[in-house]
Amino acid sequence: MHKQLFTDFTRFSYRLSCTDAFDAIVNSILHPVCIRAHEDFTIKEPVTAYSLTENECRQLQSILKQIGDLMEKGEEALGDLFMEFISNGHNGQYFTPMHICNFMNQLLSADDKISDEAPRVHDPACGSGRMLLAAAVENKSIHCYGTDIDDRCCRMAAANMVLHNLVADITCGDELSMRFSHGYLVRRSLIFNFPTLQIVKYVAAEKTAPQPEKLILPDPKSRQEKWTQSSLF
């Protein structure tokens, strides 16, 4: 499974830890499109944050290209990288294979035409967002809602929403206790239909719907990440 991608990731993570290498990949997707973020949940610019060398930048660019190529084939590579190198099944973090997600969506799609409003899809334990991606195969206008207790999974799901240019609210929290920390709001820009990301911090209140706190603008984008934007979009 994704032999070349796994080999390239192993090389990329040689100096970095596997978690830092994975975070660098996810942040490379999120940072270029992040227009606002709460100060507690800013996205690190990967080239500077991890002091990537010129060779590591090339390796990162190659990995991003492979993720995009696999995405075009209907595969979800970020989740596979996460399971292989990060979670190793910790806390039961094994994600449903994409072909099973697609099959489950086909079983449910017959009941979709109930309302004229844009359909909404919710996954209370979204992981890398595979169920949401499967639901969007036939209808890109859906509004995706996902929740996960693991922030790294939330960022990964938000990255997948960005790559597929979907409208989504990905929330970090526990739906059993109804406690939520922060959320990743993926939207499309009105002019260019380009994905944008906002990161909000929720006010702690279990009995009411979470409300976003004040947003701050992130630091200006550095020149070093321009190659990342061009490789993604």
Count Cα neighbours of 44 within 13 Å in the Cβ-side half-sphere: 14
Which candidate, 93, 87, 85, places its Cα nearest to that of 18?
85
Q: What is the pLDDT of residue 105?
A: 86
Q: What is the pLDDT of residue 212?
A: 59
Q: What is the pLDDT of residue 233?
A: 41
pLDDT digits (tens, 9 = 90+) for 112-167: 555 556 688 999 999 999 999 999 988 888 999 999 999 999 999 999 999 999 99
Q: What is the pLDDT of residue 53?
A: 95
Q: What is the pLDDT of residue 206?
A: 45
Which candidate, 41, 25, 23, places its Cα nearest to that of 185?
41
**Alpha carbon distance 137, 228 (integer Å):** 26
**Alpha carbon distance 78, 219 (integer Å):** 26
Q: What is the pLDDT of residue 227?
A: 40
Distance linking the first and last C-alpha atoms of the chain: 25
Q: What is the pLDDT of residue 202?
A: 85
The model's pTM is: 0.84
Q: What is the pLDDT of residue 218?
A: 41
Domain hosting residue 185, numbered range: 3-232
Q: What is the pLDDT of residue 29?
A: 96
Q: What is the pLDDT of residue 224?
A: 42
The helix/strand/coil state of 24 is helix
- Please give the average pLDDT of every successive group of 10 residues along the chain, which has 233 residues: 91 94 96 92 90 95 95 93 83 83 81 63 93 90 93 96 95 90 92 89 60 48 42 44
Domain count for the chain: 1
